[in-house]
Chain A
Amino acid sequence: MEWTQILTLAAKEFRDRLRNRWVLAVALVFTVFSLVIAYFGGAAQGQLGLRSIEFTIASLVSLVIYLIPLIALLLGFDAIVGERERGSLDLLLALPITRLELLLGKYLGLAAALTLSTLTGFGLVALLLFQQYGWAGLYHYVGFMISSVLLGMAFLSLAVLMSVIARERTRASGLAIAMWFFFVLVFDLLLLGALVATGGSYGGDAFAYLLLLNPADVFRILNVFSLEDVRTLYGLASIVPPALARPWLMGSVMLAWIVVPLALARWRFRS
């Protein structure tokens, strides 16, 4: 594996996203949403302004869980299929580049763009929280930011897999949207339905492990379980066994969600 090749490809993807203001636009979306949520998140309870760090993060988690998967999928779905459609894929593959290098270069460049917009987008609220709550508040919030980046990278990895599998751009975008529906909207409902249908007879704890099959749920657990107050708020404490409340375990599962789709993409990648 040659890093020059990977970095050249990554630099092009990253620079493209800076130049067409993708990074700026996404960072602005995150900034506006995070400020609005931080300030008005408690409006339903008659409160305005920053509330506790826990509530701010909990509110942001429910935003991020919808937004970041969508943005990551839209960012990555045409990584390979786009090159295939314009005819430049064969040209790239005829160069001294392996398929793995091409995938990694594309992935890392896009991941860098997504990471930059996530960190800058949520950075402003981090400053506000630091002003109000000092280091203790920042500690949790930085955890939230890191897990948001990981969530984005997991869905970006899925998007790249779609872009390898699909033979046309339109099909890849359809697959990406379907992914979003499945993981963000449908998966939890299905799980809940199954839980109710079986009347909880299939060992409650084992059932909770199924949450690991969804990177969005992993992200939620990562954030919610670092926050005592929020656990009860979400009502998740009742179904998530303590075994899952270990950040290193959930972190590793998240990393697996980044690595496995990419590995599958490499396996499926043919000319």
Chain B
Amino acid sequence: MTSTILVNKPPGAEGPAIQARGVARHYGALRAVDGVDLSVERGEIFGLIGRNGAGKSTLFKMMLGLIQPSAGEILIDGTSVQGSDFRTVRRHIGYLPENVVLYDNLSGLETLRFFARLKGAPSSQCEPTLARVGLTHAGNRPLREYSKGMRQRLGFAQALLGAPRVLFLDEPSNGLDPQAIRDFYATLHGLRDTGVTIIITSHILAELQERVDRLAIMSAGKIQALGSVQELRDQMHMPLTLELRLEPGDAVATQQALQQLAGVSSVLTGEGLRVSCPRGSKMLVLGALAALGSRLLDLNIREPSLEDLFFGFSD
């Protein structure tokens, strides 16, 4: 999505929130990231997925200015991450690393105060931020008493300090229960609507599928596919799956009828048929099925999931 609400737009900065041009990082012969061009718009939730070792973390770290690229350039808010001006931009970047362990001896509130001071955010932000992730009740308890999910929420709160314009979240839903995951994404959507750009990695593809605006699939250091889930489906030409429930006598006859249509295949299941058809033939198939009338007991159309796309692109 490119329509943006530029509430958080810094003065003078135009263009995308994150821009990578020809970015590469080599470790000897290993090309961890191998020529990535990427542009993430303001107010976009952008997913970055890939197997372990695909280059996601390296790309993430380069975008945060933690690792120098071997080649190419990365701009955040129009500022090069390698330049000395980037320090000012960092004040408005939130980062939640994967599996971070914060300081066990500090309380939740002390942890946030520590990071707020380092980020130059007012310490009056700490209590509301703690409330935002639902940890008010535990604010004065030391982190050693926190559960995994509470630690993760505190890590997220830390990333929210200082009114970030760009959020980098590495596996942010690790350890969260289903309700917390739902709350977490609700918060992200709220932030997105105020113009915050969010870049997120996850191994739980089903979780990202409905919640990101666009995503990139990385493999072997390169971006193999880029777009919204629907755009990726179109690029992949992945067939739809139709699950049919039929009267016992109709399955074979229906299968034969559908085989006349180009590109359509089907297998018998216990209850009826599983039909695989190109997106373009969907209406044709439905037309053929209309002849069955009420003998078609049930029909279920399944789009290829992000997981299907992921394996399609990264294999």
Taking Cβ atoms with an 8 Å cutoff, the residues of A that contact B are 4-5, 8-9, 12, 16, 19-20, 86-88, 90-98, 271
Q: Across the interface, do A96 and B87 meet the contact criterion of CB distance under 8 Å?
A: yes
Q: Mark B112-141, 1 if CB is under 8 A from A, else 0.
A: 001101111000000000000000000000
A96 touches which of B61, B99, B101, B120 (Cβ 8 Å): B120
Q: Mark B85-108, 1 if CB is under 8 A from A, else 0.
A: 001101101011111111101000
CA distance A193 to B64 in the complex (A): 53
With A86-B100, A90-B66, A91-B100 as contacts: A97 and B118 at CB distance below 8 Å = yes
Rounded to whole Å, the gap between the CB of A110 and the closest CB of chain B is: 15
Which residues on A sit within 8 Å (CB–CB) of B115? 95
Tell me, yes or no, whether B286 is within 8 Å of chain A by CB: no
CA distance A121 to B119 in the complex (A): 36
CA distance A97 to B102 in the complex (A): 17
From B92, which residue of chain A is reached at the shortest CB distance?
Answer: A96
Q: Across the interface, do A96 and B100 meet the contact criterion of CB distance under 8 Å?
A: no
B101 touches which of A5, A12, A88 (Cβ 8 Å): A88
Which residues on A sit within 8 Å (CB–CB) of B65? 94
Rounded to whole Å, the gap between the CB of A119 and the closest CB of chain B is: 24
Q: Which of A9, A12, A16, A97 has the most CB of B within 10 A?
A: A12
Q: Across the interface, do B102 and A88 meet the contact criterion of CB distance under 8 Å?
A: yes
Which residues on A sit within 8 Å (CB–CB) of B67? 271
Q: Across the interface, do A90 and B114 meet the contact criterion of CB distance under 8 Å?
A: no
Q: Across the interface, do A90 and B117 meet the contact criterion of CB distance under 8 Å?
A: no
Which residues on A sit within 8 Å (CB–CB) of B118? 5, 8-9, 92, 95-97
Which residues on B sit within 8 Å (CB–CB) of A19? 105
Given contacts A16-B105, A90-B64, 10 further A-B contacts (CB under 8 A): A5-B118, A86-B100, A88-B100, A88-B102, A90-B66, A90-B95, A93-B64, A96-B88, A96-B90, A98-B87
Q: Across the interface, do B101 and A87 meet the contact criterion of CB distance under 8 Å?
A: yes
From B67, which residue of chain A is reached at the shortest CB distance?
Answer: A271
A95 touches which of B88, B96, B103, B119 (Cβ 8 Å): B119
Per the CB 8 Å criterion, the residue count for chain B at the interface is 28
A271 touches which of B61, B101, B105, B114 (Cβ 8 Å): B61
Q: Can you give 12 contacting A-B residue pairs, CB < 8 Å? A: A12-B114, A16-B103, A86-B100, A87-B101, A90-B64, A90-B100, A94-B93, A94-B168, A95-B90, A95-B115, A96-B87, A96-B118
Q: Which of B98, B100, B118 has the most CB of A within 10 A?
A: B118
Q: Across the interface, do B119 and A96 meet the contact criterion of CB distance under 8 Å?
A: yes
CA distance A86 to B101 in the complex (A): 5
With A8-B114, A94-B66, A97-B118 as contacts: A87 and B105 at CB distance below 8 Å = no
CA distance A4 to B114 in the complex (A): 12
Rounded to whole Å, the gap between the CB of A203 and the closest CB of chain B is: 47
Which residues on B sit within 8 Å (CB–CB) of A20? 105
Which residues on B sit within 8 Å (CB–CB) of A5? 118
CA distance A245 to B91 in the complex (A): 51
CA distance A164 to B103 in the complex (A): 19
From B90, which residue of chain A is reached at the shortest CB distance?
Answer: A96
Q: Across the interface, do B100 and A4 meet the contact criterion of CB distance under 8 Å?
A: no
With A87-B100, A96-B90, A96-B91 as contacts: A4 and B117 at CB distance below 8 Å = yes
With A8-B117, A271-B66 as contacts: A94 and B95 at CB distance below 8 Å = yes
CA distance A128 to B313 in the complex (A): 79
With A12-B114, A96-B120 as contacts: A87 and B97 at CB distance below 8 Å = yes
CA distance A26 to B137 in the complex (A): 36
From B116, which residue of chain A is reached at the shortest CB distance?
Answer: A8
Rounded to whole Å, the gap between the CB of A20 and the closest CB of chain B is: 7
Rounded to whole Å, the gap between the CB of A90 and the closest CB of chain B is: 5
Q: Across the interface, do B99 and A87 meet the contact criterion of CB distance under 8 Å?
A: yes
Which residues on B sit within 8 Å (CB–CB) of A88? 97, 100-103
CA distance A88 to B117 in the complex (A): 16
From B99, which residue of chain A is reached at the shortest CB distance?
Answer: A87
Rounded to whole Å, the gap between the CB of B146 and the closest CB of chain A is: 14
Which residues on B sit within 8 Å (CB–CB) of A87? 97-101
CA distance A42 to B158 in the complex (A): 58
From B84, which residue of chain A is reached at the shortest CB distance?
Answer: A98
From B120, which residue of chain A is reached at the shortest CB distance?
Answer: A96
Which residues on A sit within 8 Å (CB–CB) of B168? 94
Which residues on A sit within 8 Å (CB–CB) of B64? 90, 93-94
